[in-house]
Amino acid sequence: MTSKKHNIFNALMIALPWISVLFIGKRSIKRYSLSSVVIGIYEIISHLYGRKKKYWKFYDKPQKFIRDELPFDIGPYVPISMWILKYTYGNFKKFVLVNVIFNLFFAFIFIAFLKKIKILRLYRLNYFQFFIYIHYKAYLLYAVQFLMEKVKRRRGMYSATKKDEKIPS
């Protein structure tokens, strides 16, 4: 049976990042949402693989993907990807640095916190391996956004250099 703290945790993990999207700006949502969703879908597939390989274990029984891993994918992953792209896209070094900081925090501090409150613990991965497991996806996110920008520029949809220029509908 799902614990009350697990349900509250899942609700907060989904709601808070999506509420933050209200402040990201319409242009940024339009510009970065598709690449963030593509990587979010890739993350779901990755979590299915990690679940099969038993990289982690959730404390609540029975184990269910929809209750356990999916809130991580539909909660923070897509909104945080949009925020990071908004503030770092175009400066690859800054993008990598911000992702390293976020992923180090998640892999070493947040996962340890989840273990302490008995939501999740790593099983077949150590913290560093888990960091690599989540961090490499940042490069995929940047590559997907880069390709989307290239396609949009080719189609003449907008100029990526002018911040105040409106995107045609």
Amino acid at 121: R
User: What does the DSSP assignment read for 20-73?
Assistant: HGGGT-HHHHHHHHHHHHHHHHHHHHHHHHHHHTT-EEESSSS--HHHHTHHHI
DSSP characters over 93-105: HHHHHHHHHHHHI
Assigned token pair, 62? 């029975």
What would the pLDDT profile of 110-150 be if each residue is shown by its tens digit? 999 999 999 999 999 999 999 999 999 999 999 999 999 99
List Cα–Cα distances, 161 to 33, 44, 95, in angstroms.
Answer: 19, 33, 17
pLDDT in tens, 11-53: 999 999 999 999 999 999 999 999 999 999 999 999 999 999 9
The pLDDT of residue 93 is 97
Report the C-alpha gap between 121 and 113 in whole angstroms.
9
> What is this structure's pTM?
0.83
Residue 157: which H helix or E strand, with range?
A: none
